[in-house]
C-alpha cells in the first residue's frame, strides 16, 4: 500500500514512531494523527524523574520527529468510536475520519484511586501525562510536609526517588513484601528496598492504604489496613495503568482494560479472534502473543516496545503481514532510581529462579538472570548496563539457566526462588 | 532543538558528555541526564554528541524543522 488514507489513533510515542515508519516505508497518501491531549507527542520517561525535580520543564519534552513528519494533526480531540464496517474513526466534536488503514496507539492511563471523592481531593495526584507531571511538580515546589506514594512499582519508586531528592519526607506503601516485587521479584526488590531506606524513604511494604481522608477538600492522611495512620498532604497514586480501549466498545474488537488483542502482525482481533486486515495496534494498548512466553498474550508498557512495535505495525500495513513476519522484539526497559540504573531484557513473569551471575549486590553493580523451568527468560542489570546485551541471545533462544557460568566474580551462581507473584492462570 | 536518547541503548560511554557537557551529564555510574530542548546556538556541539555516541542512541531534530508542527 502506497496511497489512500492512514489514520493513527493516539499521538504519543507509538503513534508518532508508527507514522514516521509509514512515511519511511514509502507511504505517500493522507496521514492523520489523532490525540486526546492538546500537546504534540512528548517523551514520558523524564516525567517521573527530572521533571519532578524541576530540572526539566514539562513543555521541553516534545519528541524529535514531530516537525519533519508530513501529517495532519487532530490534537485535543480524542477518538470516541470506531465504525469498523464503514472504516470510519469518530472523533469528539463530531468529525468522522474515513480510513483505509487504522493504527490504534491510544496507550494507557493512570489507574485512579478507587474512591472518586477521595481521588478528587486537592493534593491527590496521578502521574501519567505531561500535565500530570506539571501539576505534581508545582505541588512539590510548595514544599508539602509529607508525600505519600501509593504503589512501589517502577513509577512509584522513581517518583519516590525524585521527590526524596528534593529533600521532602516521603512514605511509600505497597501491599507486596518488597518494592518492584511484581516486575523483578522480592530478591532484587529487597535490594532496591535497602537503597530506598538508605535514602531516607519511609517504606511500608506488606500493608495497604484503605482510605484517604481530607479536610476542607484537601487530603490530610491515609488509613492503613493494619490500623495505622500516615499523615500526608500530598499523595501520588501509582497503582498501575488501565489501557485506553473504552472508546472501542461496540466495535466488535476484542478489547478490555488489559488491552486490545492483536496478532503477531499487529492486526487487531475481533471478538471471535479473527484479524481485521485494516486495523492494527501498537504500544501500551496492544496485547499480543509473545513468542518468548509460549505465545501468552502480553501488553508491555515499555518505551522500546512502543517504538519497535509501531514500526512493525507500519511494515505490516504497507507490505502485508507475511512480509512483515511475526513481531518478536525482546522486551527491554530501563529505570533510574536511588542512584541505580536498572535495565531489563526479556520477561520475568512466571520465572521460578533468579541468580546473580555477574558482579555483587554489595558493590551495587551486578547482573541477575531469571530462569523458568531450566531456561533463561530474562536478565536484569543494576548499574551494569554494558553486561546486559550479552544475555539477549540466551533469552531469545531460551538457553539453559543459569546462562553463563564460571565468571571471575560469580564462579558458581546460586539460583534461588525470585519471589515473583504466582503466575496468573491462562 | 529537540533531543531524545534511547536509554535502552545507552551504555554510559559518556562521549556525549565530552562533546556537549552543558547538555549531557552522567550521574552516578551510568545515569544519563540530558536537556531534551537545547538552544539552537549549541547545534554544533549537539551534532558532535550524536556522532560521538558509540551506540547511536541520540536523536535530534533541528529547530528549523520544529515550526511545521
pLDDT digits (tens, 9 = 90+) for A47-88: 999 999 999 999 999 999 999 999 999 999 999 999 999 999
When divided into structural domains, chain A yields a total of 3
Which pLDDT tens digit goes with each residue over A150-197?
999 999 999 999 999 999 999 999 999 999 999 999 999 999 999 999
Question: pTM score, two decimals?
Answer: 0.96
Mark whether A23 and A88 lie in a shared domain.
Answer: yes
Q: Which residue has the higher pLDDT, A308 or A414?
A: A308
A402 in any annotated domain: no
A407 in any annotated domain: no
Mark whether A301 and A232 lie in a shared domain.
Answer: no
Cell of A92: 469528539
Which pLDDT tens digit goes with each residue over A288-325?
999 998 899 999 999 999 999 999 999 999 999 999 99
> Could you say which of A239, A273, A301 is where a domain stops?
A239
Mark whether A41 and A156 lie in a shared domain.
Answer: no
A419 in any annotated domain: no
Residue B18: is the preceding peptide bond cis (ω within 30°)?
no
A153 in any annotated domain: yes
- Please state, in angstroms and rounded to a whole number, the distance separating the CA atoms of residues A236 and A120: 12
A331 in any annotated domain: no
Question: Is the pLDDT reported for residue A397 higher than 60?
Answer: yes
Q: Which of A368, A347, A367 is nearest to A296 (CA)?
A: A347
Q: What is the model's pLDDT at position B69? A: 47
Q: Over chain B, what is the mean pLDDT?
A: 92
Question: Is the pLDDT reported for residue B68 higher than 60?
Answer: no
Nearest CA in chain A to B68: A67
A148-159 exposure pattern, b = at least 16 Cβ within 10 A, e = fewer: bbbbbbbbbbbb
Number of other residues whose CB lies within 10 A of the CB of residue A202:
15
Domains and CATH numbers, chain B: 2-66 (3.30.70.20)
> Could you say which of A239, A256, A284 is where a domain stops?
A239
Mark whether A84 and A172 lie in a shared domain.
Answer: no
Domain range spanning residue A88? Answer: 5-109+242-324
ipTM of the complex: 0.94
Q: What is the model's pLDDT at position A384? A: 96
Question: Which CATH number covers residue A34?
Answer: 3.50.50.60
Question: Between vectors from CA A151 to CA A148 and to CA A157, what angle results, nearest 5°?
Answer: 80
Q: What is the model's pLDDT at position A135? A: 98
Q: Determine the residue among A341, A366, A380, A390 to mutate to test chain B binding: the one whose Cβ has the most chain B Cβ atoms within 10 Å.
A: A341
B36–A383 C-beta distance less than 8 A: no
Question: Is the pLDDT reported for residue B52 higher than 50?
Answer: yes
Mark whether A116 and A151 lie in a shared domain.
Answer: yes
Q: What percentage of chain A has pLDDT greater than the value 70? A: 98
Give the pLDDT mean for A116-122. 98
Cell of A418: 525470585
Give the pLDDT mean for B1-14. 97
A182 in any annotated domain: yes
Question: Is the pLDDT reported for residue A406 higher than 70?
Answer: no
Which pLDDT tens digit goes with each residue over A415-426?
999 999 986 665
Task: Choose among A63, A339, A385: nearest Cβ to B12.
Answer: A385
Question: Which CATH number covers residue A385?
Answer: 3.30.390.30
Mark whether A230 and A259 lie in a shared domain.
Answer: no
Amino acid at each position: 500500500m502506497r496511497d489512500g488514507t492512514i489514520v493513527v489513533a493516539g499521538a504519543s510515542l507509538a503513534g508518532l514512531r508508527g507514522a514516521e515508519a509509514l512515511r519511511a516505508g514509502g507511504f505517500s497518501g493522507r496521514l492523520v494523527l489523532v490525540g486526546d491531549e492538546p500537546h504534540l507527542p512528548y517523551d514520558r520517561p523524564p516525567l517521573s524523574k527530572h521533571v519532578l525535580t524541576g530540572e526539566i520543564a514539562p513543555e521541553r519534552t516534545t519528541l524529535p520527529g514531530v516537525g519533519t513528519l508530513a501529517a495532519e494533526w487532530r490534537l485535543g480531540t480524542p477518538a470516541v468510536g470506531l465504525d469498523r464496517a464503514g472504516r470510519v474513526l469518530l472523533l469528539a466534536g463530531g468529525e468522522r475520519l474515513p480510513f483505509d488503514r487504522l493504527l490504534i496507539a491510544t496507550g494507557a492511563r493512570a489507574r485512579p484511586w478507587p474512591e472518586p471523592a477521595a481521588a478528587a481531593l486537592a493534593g491527590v495526584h496521578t502521574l501519567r501525562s505531561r500535565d500530570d507531571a506539571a501539576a505534581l511538580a508545582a505541588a512539590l515546589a510548595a514544599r508539602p510536609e509529607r508525600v505519600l506514594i501509593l504503589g512501589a512499582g517502577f513509577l512509584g519508586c522513581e517518583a519516590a526517588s525524585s521527590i526524596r531528592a528534593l529533600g521532602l519526607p516521603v512514605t511509600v506503601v505497597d501491599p507486596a513484601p518488597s518494592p518492584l516485587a511484581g516486575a523483578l521479584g522480592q530478591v532484587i526488590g529487597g535490594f532496591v528496598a535497602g537503597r530506598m531506606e538508605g535514602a531516607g524513604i519511609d517504606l511500608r511494604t506488606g500493608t495497604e492504604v484503605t482510605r484517604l481522608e481530607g479536610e476542607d477538600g484537601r487530603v490530610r492522611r491515609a488509613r492503613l489496613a493494619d490500623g495505622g495512620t500516615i499523615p500526608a498532604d500530598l499523595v501520588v497514586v501509582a497503582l498501575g495503568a488501565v489501557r485506553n480501549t473504552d472508546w472501542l466498545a461496540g466495535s466488535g474488537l476484542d478489547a478490555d482494560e488489559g488491552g486490545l488483542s492483536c496478532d503477531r502482525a499487529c492486526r487487531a482481533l475481533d471478538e471471535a479472534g479473527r484479524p481485521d486486515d485494516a486495523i492494527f495496534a501498537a504500544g501500551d494498548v496492544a496485547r499480543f502473543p509473545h513468542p518468548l512466553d509460549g505465545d501468552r498474550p502480553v501488553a508491555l508498557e515499555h518505551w522500546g516496545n512502543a517504538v519497535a512495535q509501531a514500526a512493525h505495525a507500519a511494515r505490516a500495513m504497507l507490505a502485508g503481514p507475511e512480509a512483515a513476519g511475526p513481531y518478536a522484539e525482546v522486551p527491554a526497559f530501563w529505570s533510574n532510581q536511588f542512584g541505580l540504573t536498572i535495565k531489563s531484557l526479556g520477561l520475568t513473569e512466571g520465572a521460578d529462579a533468579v541468580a546473580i551471575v555477574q558482579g555483587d549486590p554489595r558493590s551495587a553493580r551486578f547482573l541477575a538472570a531469571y530462569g523458568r523451568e531450566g531456561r533463561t527468560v530474562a536478565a536484569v542489570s543494576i548499574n551494569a548496563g554494558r553486561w546486559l546485551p550479552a544475555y539477549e541471545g540466551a533469552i531469545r533462544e531460551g538457553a539453559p539457566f543459569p546462562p553463563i557460568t564460571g565468571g571471575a566474580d560469580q564462579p558458581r551462581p546460586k539460583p534461588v526462588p525470585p519471589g515473583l507473584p504466582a503466575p496468573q492462570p491462562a | 532543538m529537540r533531543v531524545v536518547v534511547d536509554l535502552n541503548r545507552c551504555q554510559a560511554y559518556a562521549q556525549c558528555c565530552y562533546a556537549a557537557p552543558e547538555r549531557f551529564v552522567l550521574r552516578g555510574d551510568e545515569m544519563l541526564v540530558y536537556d531534551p530542548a537545547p538552544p539552537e546556538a549549541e547545534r554544533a556541539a549537539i551534532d558532535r554528541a550524536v556522532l560521538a555516541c558509540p551506540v547511536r542512541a541520540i536523536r535530534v531534530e533541528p529547530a528549523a524543522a520544529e515550526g511545521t508542527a
